Amino acid sequence: MADFGGDLELEDFRKEAAAWLDANFPKALAGKGHLAMAERSSPGADLTAWKAAIGAKGWATPTWPTQYGGGGLSAQKARVLAQEMGKAGAFNPLMFGMGVTMIGPTILDYGTDAQKAKHIPPIVRGDVQWCVGYSEPNAGSDLASLQTKAVDNGDGWSITGQKTWTSGAQYSEWCGLLVRTDPSAKKHDGISFMLVDMHQPGVETRPIALIAGASPFCETFFTDAVAPRDALLGQLNVGWTVGKRLLQHERASQTGAPMGGRSVPLSQIAKRYVAIDADGRIEDQDLRSRVVRHEMDARTHGLTLARVMAESKEANGATNGASVLKNSATHVAQTRAELTLEIMGGQGLGWEGDDFTRDEIETVRGWLSGKAMSIYGGSSEIQNNIISKRILGLPDNTQSS
């Protein structure tokens, strides 16, 4: 016999979520999730109000425990909330930071009760900004070669070294940092993960300029920076395990934000820029076909993401399906950006000036910054190697015969 009780409960929650969004999400922000990234260093009044509201409700972290301020929702209710946010054009402003997407989940996985009580509630409320200190000038793809060191100084740790590509470091209060704590051990074995306060004299950040203009990336220098003994997340010299878990959370967040605002369909954007036939379709058949193909790819990616989320919940961890989503998300996002600029024509070339709308300028800059998706979080080529070798079991043809 079917269980209609659960369905009725979800429909009641759907009405509750829709009503709350109607009362709390600023209508002026509908469909403008990119503003959360562009304005996070100096957010406007609407964005500030929305961030405070969703943080206080706990719905920026809908499935996190209520004891830390999270929403405490089931996976089913979280999906309903995501659907209602999509209908409203709403977005999760905290998904653009590393506290919710990477550090918070990793602290929930490995943190002590004291670490969770200290760090999780401010992340849930959006009160603090986190960055991640992983890559170094000589430790990129081979991250385990990192040389930033943490030395026991009796009261805690003294940290010296350099990190690069530390996104958001210039306005972060805390950093999840991979450091070498045992230089005599094998390179994967002598690494620890620490939670480091960025507001101290021993930490310096230098933004790295990118072609898209504003850049989230920094070089970060640690010169005898200090961390207390309880800054260690997980076990001493077992930080590589913690670090890999964080990367799983990172890739999950990059595959498609389930709490993000719904994108305006390309067919709708096209009606403002290109010729439309008598049936309301894009007149150019080739462009129309490519737009439809993109929308099919986007829908397929979304359905695969939903399946992987359900499978990982049952398996209590990442599944093989998750490995394809990073490249799939990159393909969908970059294809959309390319098509949008093509549809805009000359208006898709704006960098500044009164001849272009803000959305047009943001689209151009988004297209440029989106090129990095093929690289960060694991390059597309490396991800393809992982899929071919570890999942499909294909032979390694990179070795010389």
- Per 3-state DSSP, the chain is made up of helix, strand and coil in percentages (nearest 5) of 50, 15, 35
Domain pair 16-125 / 263-391, same fold: no
Q: Under CATH, what is the fold of the domain 263-391? A: Butyryl-CoA Dehydrogenase, subunit A; domain 3 (1.20.140)
298's enclosing H/E stretch is helix 285-315
Joined tokens for residue 293: 């193909």
- In order along its 401 residues, the chain shows pLDDT tens digits of 444 456 888 999 999 999 999 999 999 888 777 666 665 666 788 899 999 999 999 999 999 999 999 999 998 899 899 889 988 889 898 887 789 999 999 999 999 999 999 999 999 999 999 999 999 998 877 888 999 999 999 989 999 999 998 988 998 999 999 999 999 999 899 999 999 999 999 999 999 887 766 677 899 999 999 999 999 999 999 999 999 889 878 776 665 544 444 467 888 888 889 998 888 889 999 999 999 999 999 888 888 877 776 776 665 555 666 668 888 888 998 999 999 999 999 998 888 888 898 888 888 888 887 887 887 766 788 778 878 887 888 887 655 54
CA dist list (Å): 249 to 107, 253, 363: 11, 6, 27
Which residue type sits at 66?
T
- CB-side exposure of 375: number of CA atoms within 13 Å? 7
Q: To which CATH superfamily is domain 130-237 assigned?
A: Butyryl-CoA Dehydrogenase, subunit A, domain 2 (2.40.110.10)
- Distance from C-alpha of 237 to C-alpha of 181, rounded to nearest angstrom: 6
Joined tokens for residue 202: 């021993």
Cβ atoms 136, 81 nearer than 8 A: no
Which residue type sits at 114?
A
Domain residues of the chain, as ranges? 16-125, 130-237, 263-391
Q: How far is CA 196 from the centre of its chain?
A: 21
Query: Is residue 314 packed enough to be buried (19+ CB in 10 Å), middle (13-18) or exposed (0-12)?
Result: exposed
- CB-side exposure of 199: number of CA atoms within 13 Å? 7
- CB-side exposure of 36: number of CA atoms within 13 Å? 20
Per-residue model confidence (pLDDT) at position 287: 93
Q: What are the DSSP calls for 225-271, one per residue? A: EEEEGGGEESSTTBHHHHHHHHHHHHHHHHT--TTSPPPPPHHHHHT
Per-residue model confidence (pLDDT) at position 214: 67
Per-residue model confidence (pLDDT) at position 321: 66
- Distance from C-alpha of 190 to C-alpha of 179, rounded to nearest angstrom: 9
Cβ atoms 73, 63 nearer than 8 A: yes
Joined tokens for residue 338: 């390319």
Cβ atoms 174, 196 nearer than 8 A: yes
Per-residue model confidence (pLDDT) at position 318: 56
Q: To which CATH superfamily is domain 16-125 assigned?
A: Acyl-CoA dehydrogenase/oxidase, N-terminal domain (1.10.540.10)
Per-residue model confidence (pLDDT) at position 42: 67
Q: Nearest-CA neighbor of 197 among 101, 105, 96, 129?
A: 129
Q: What are the DSSP calls for 138-157, one per residue? A: TBSSSGGG---EEEE-SSEE
